[in-house]
């Protein structure tokens, strides 16, 4: 990977200190003036929107532009478990490396960092107050809560093979070395998006069964729903029939009903409603019984 402040600076023994609970937008303050030669991180502001897009605003007091010898890094413990991931950096599963002209997302592979399989959401900007980096929680393993460390360096050179050299680098960490991680909780207003709805068979038989399956995803991660409950309602000729099966598995809510033997020529109508943490999604169907 291009950039490895973890190898350079986390070889010392660090201890994890707890942080206060985080909200949708939280400012993490860092001590200032530790190293006059280094970029001076004063604070990191983290926020997220309902689509799960997480924004890191790394405020750097003394570097109004991103110079060619600079690097800004984020090490993210996406499962909030220091016993997994990079053992040298509080169990980080992901690293974001920002250099002049590019930003990259890397994933811990058990022995080092390699390019993350998904980083399409990753973008950055750099202004007079420092760096702003945005990435979706879904590209960080669908994280709901994470710990992180920010680092900013200057004096980074590149060797003939394009690898960074930190021998003369001056580095500032937030939080300071030995003070653990900053901890943040991703909070969203959950919405469910229906990705597929399929009654089966299309023309149910009298005396047979009809099923309806609703697949949904969570807006904050873009991933299939995890858990939840399903409500099943159906009727034939205006008379309600009870579901014989209802379950949610692998992001799909399924209802099954038995069609009365006397229902031939009538119409069966029904709805499937899946509910998860206060959010719901509903689909209906109608079919003529043969």
Structure tokens at 51: 């689509």
d(CA 16, CA 60): 24
d(CA 216, CA 282): 10
Fold adopted by 192-288: Immunoglobulin-like (2.60.40)
The pLDDT value given to residue 10? 39
What is the per-residue DSSP string for 84-144?
SSBTTTTTBSEEEEEETTEEEEEEE-SSSEEE-S--TT-EEEEETTEEEEEEEGGGGTT-S
- Same fold for the pair 5-185 and 192-288: yes
Q: For 6-33, write each residue's pLDDT tens digit.
A: 444 433 333 333 333 334 899 999 999 9
- CA 148, distance to chain mean position in Å, is 14
The pLDDT value given to residue 160? 87
**In the chain, what are the domain boundaries?**
5-185, 192-288
Dihedral sign for Cα atoms in the order 112, 115, 118, 120: positive
The pLDDT value given to residue 51? 86
- Helix, strand, coil shares of the chain, percent, nearest 5, are 5, 50, 45
Indicate the pairing of strand 145-154 with strand 71-77: antiparallel
Which of 62, 61, 56, 144 has its CA nearest to residue 105?
56
Q: Which residue ranges of the chain lie beneath pLDDT 70? A: 1-23
Q: Which CATH number fits domain 5-185: 2.60.40, 1.20.120, 3.30.70, 1.10.260?
A: 2.60.40
The pLDDT value given to residue 19? 34
Q: For 35-65, write each residue's pLDDT tens digit.
A: 999 999 999 999 999 889 999 999 999 999 9
The pLDDT value given to residue 11? 34
């Amino acid at each position: 990977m291009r950039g490895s402040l973890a190898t350079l600076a986390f070889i010392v023994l660090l201890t994890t200190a707890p942080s206060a609970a985080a909200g949708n937008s939280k400012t993490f303050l860092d001590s200032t003036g530790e190293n006059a030669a280094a970029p001076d991180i004063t604070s990191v502001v983290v926020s997220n929107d309902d689509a799960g897009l997480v924004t890191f605003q790394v405020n750097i007091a003394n570097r109004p532009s991103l110079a060619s010898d600079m690097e800004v890094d984020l090490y993210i413990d996406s499962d909030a478990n220091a016993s997994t991931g990079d053992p040298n950096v509080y169990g980080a599963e992901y690293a974001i490396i920002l250099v002049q002209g590019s930003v990259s997302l890397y994933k811990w592979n058990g022995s080092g960092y390699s390019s993350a399989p998904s980083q399409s959401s990753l973008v950055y900007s750099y202004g007079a107050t420092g760096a702003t980096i945005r990435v979706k929680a879904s590209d960080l393993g669908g994280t709901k809560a994470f710990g992180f460390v920010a680092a900013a360096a200057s004096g980074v050179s590149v060797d003939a093979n394009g690898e960074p050299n930190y021998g003369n680098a001056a580095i500032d960490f937030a939080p300071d070395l030995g003070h653990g991680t900053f901890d943040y909780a991703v909070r969203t207003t959950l919405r469910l998006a229906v990705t597929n709805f399929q009654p089966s068979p299309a023309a149910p038989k009298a005396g047979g069964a009809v099923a309806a399956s609703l697949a949904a995803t969570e807006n904050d991660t873009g991933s299939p729903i995890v858990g939840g409950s399903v409500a099943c309602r159906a009727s034939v000729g205006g008379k309600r029939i009870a579901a014989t099966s209802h379950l949610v598995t692998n992001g799909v809510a399924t209802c099954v009903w038995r069609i009365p033997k006397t229902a031939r020529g009538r119409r069966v109508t029904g709805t499937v409603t899946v509910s998860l943490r206060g959010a719901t999604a509903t689909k209906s169907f109608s079919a003529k019984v043969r």
